[in-house]
Amino acid sequence: MEIRGKCLWCCQTVFPCFNKPPSDSDPGKEKREIVVIKNIHAEERTNRALPPIPLEKPGYVYIALYDYTARTVEDLSFNAGDKLDALDKSAGDWWYANALTGISADKKGYIPANYVAPVESLDAEPWYFADTKRLDAEKLLLSEGNQHGAFLIRHCESQKGELSLSVLDQCKVKHYKVRKLDTGGYYVARSKNFLTLRELVEHYSKLEDGLCVRLLEPCKKMEVPQTHGLSYNTADH
């Protein structure tokens, strides 16, 4: 044994390949180094904040044009200016809605469809009187409750597709044509153009800028439209 050990020692000294490999290595396999590469973009996507959940569904939110008091337990009371989400419009003249703001906030019930308008539409503006004729506009503006500077915008009778601005100046009503540009936009005087009617109204609410008076308050709506039937239950569906 002693001679054998000496021979082995000599061989290992002269021939390094006789040395015993480390216990943690496998002599039959190639040693490989594992490298972990970070995906920075994936990490950024993970850490990125999610977009906020929309509070209102676009295209379904309406604004009340008039006050309405519920006539049955299934109806929903609301005031002019309240926002409502129309959940079901299949009944036609009466819609099932959820009140987003106002006296019935977070409550559901039926509302008369002709008492509301899409929140971003012209019909939702208190100064927009659409198909009101010139003489009717004068009667409305001269009626009790309207003050100097009251105004409304309506369709022009003499020129189809055009609009008119009617303004109460003391005890007289004056009318201005609101013209449309071919490229879009509106103007009363050519020197001052506006992208929307809202911008036009906002401008002349701050300055007279050629008008007889600064626009102060929208004309009062004297007549409340009739509902189709007394309530959802009494309407002919």
Both 168 and 115 in one domain: the answer is no
- Residue 18 lies inside a defined structural domain of this protein: no
Domain end point (choices 119, 139, 164) = 119
CATH at residue 150:
3.30.505.10
- Residue 157 lies inside a defined structural domain of this protein: yes
Both 174 and 202 in one domain: the answer is yes
- CA 108/CA 208 separation, integer angstroms: 44
Taking the whole predicted model, whether its pTM rises above 0.75 is answered as no
Domain of residue 85 covers: 61-119
Domain end point (choices 82, 100, 119) = 119
Both 190 and 144 in one domain: the answer is yes
- Residue 49 lies inside a defined structural domain of this protein: no
Contact 80, 66 (CB under 8 A): yes
Which of 47-56, 85-94, 155-164 shows the lowest mean pLDDT across its residues? 47-56
Both 137 and 182 in one domain: the answer is yes
- Residue 27 lies inside a defined structural domain of this protein: no
Mean pLDDT (the chain) is 83
Both 130 and 166 in one domain: the answer is yes
Question: What is the number of structural domains in the chain?
Answer: 2
- Residue 216 lies inside a defined structural domain of this protein: no
Both 146 and 89 in one domain: the answer is no
Both 81 and 153 in one domain: the answer is no
CATH at residue 89:
2.30.30.40
- Residue 163 lies inside a defined structural domain of this protein: yes
Mean pLDDT on 6-30: 53
Both 82 and 110 in one domain: the answer is yes
- Residue 171 lies inside a defined structural domain of this protein: yes
Query: In the chain, at which residue ranges do the beta strands (DSSP E only) sit?
Result: 61-64, 83-88, 94-99, 108-112, 116-118, 151-155, 163-169, 172-180, 186-187, 193-194
Structure confidence by residue, pLDDT tens digits, 19-75? 555 555 555 555 556 655 656 555 555 455 544 434 444 448 999 999 999 999 999
Both 140 and 95 in one domain: the answer is no
Both 130 and 115 in one domain: the answer is no
Structure confidence by residue, pLDDT tens digits, 187-225? 999 889 999 999 999 999 999 999 999 999 999 988 888
Q: Classify burial at 168, counting beta carbons within 10 Å of its beta carbon; exposed 0-12, middle 13-18, buried 19 or more.
A: buried
Structure confidence by residue, pLDDT tens digits, 108-154? 999 999 999 999 899 999 999 999 999 999 999 999 999 999 999 99
- Residue by residue, what is the 3-state secondary structure of 3-46? HHHHHHHHHHHHCHHHCCCCCCCCCCCCCCCCCCCCCHHHHHHH
N-terminal to C-terminal alpha carbon distance within the chain:
112
Both 136 and 192 in one domain: the answer is yes
- Residue 69 lies inside a defined structural domain of this protein: yes
